Amino acid sequence: MTLGEKIKDFRTRAGLSQEQLADKLGVSRQAITKWENDRGIPDINNLQGIAKLFNVSIDSLVNHLENTTTTIIKEDINLENYQKSGTCRSKYDAVVKEKYPNASAIYPLIKRKKLNFAQEIVDFIIQPGVLQVADSFNDLSSYYLVELQNRQLLVRVTKTYIEGRELNVHFEGKKCIIDDNLFKKASYTL
Helices marked H in the chain: 3-13, 18-25, 29-36, 44-54, 58-62, 91-99, 117-126, 130-138
Helix (H, G, I), strand (E, B) or coil at 121: helix
Whole-angstrom Cα distance, residue 102 to residue 139? 28
pLDDT band at 54, cuts 50/70/90? confident
pLDDT band, very low/low/confident/very high, at 148 (cuts 50, 70, 90): confident
Query: 68 pLDDT exceeds 50?
Result: no
Question: What integer pLDDT is reported at residue 25 of this predicted model?
Answer: 93
Q: What is the pLDDT of residue 70?
A: 61
Alpha-carbon distance of 122 to 128, in angstroms, equals: 9
What count of other Cβ atoms lies within 10 Å of the Cβ of residue 137? 7
**Residue 66 scores a pLDDT above 60:** no
Cβ neighbours of residue 20 closer than 8 Å, sequence gap 6 or more: none
The span from the CA of 131 to the CA of 143, in Å, is 19
Whether 61 shows a pLDDT value over 60: the answer reads yes
Q: What is the tens place of the pLDDT at every residue in 80-97?
A: 999 988 889 999 999 999
- CATH architecture entry for 3-62: Orthogonal Bundle (1.10)
β partners of residue 166: 70, 153
Sequence letter at residue 126 = I
CA distance 104 to 28: 43
Q: Domain boundaries in the chain?
A: 3-62, 70-185
Are the beta carbons of 166 and 151 closer than 8 angstroms?
yes
Q: What is the pLDDT of residues 3-50, one digit of tens each?
A: 888 899 888 877 889 999 999 999 999 999 999 998 988 998 998 999
Helices (H), 55-112: 58-62, 91-99
Quote the percentage of the chain above a pLDDT of 70.
88
pLDDT at 23: 93
Mean pLDDT, the chain, rounded, equals 84
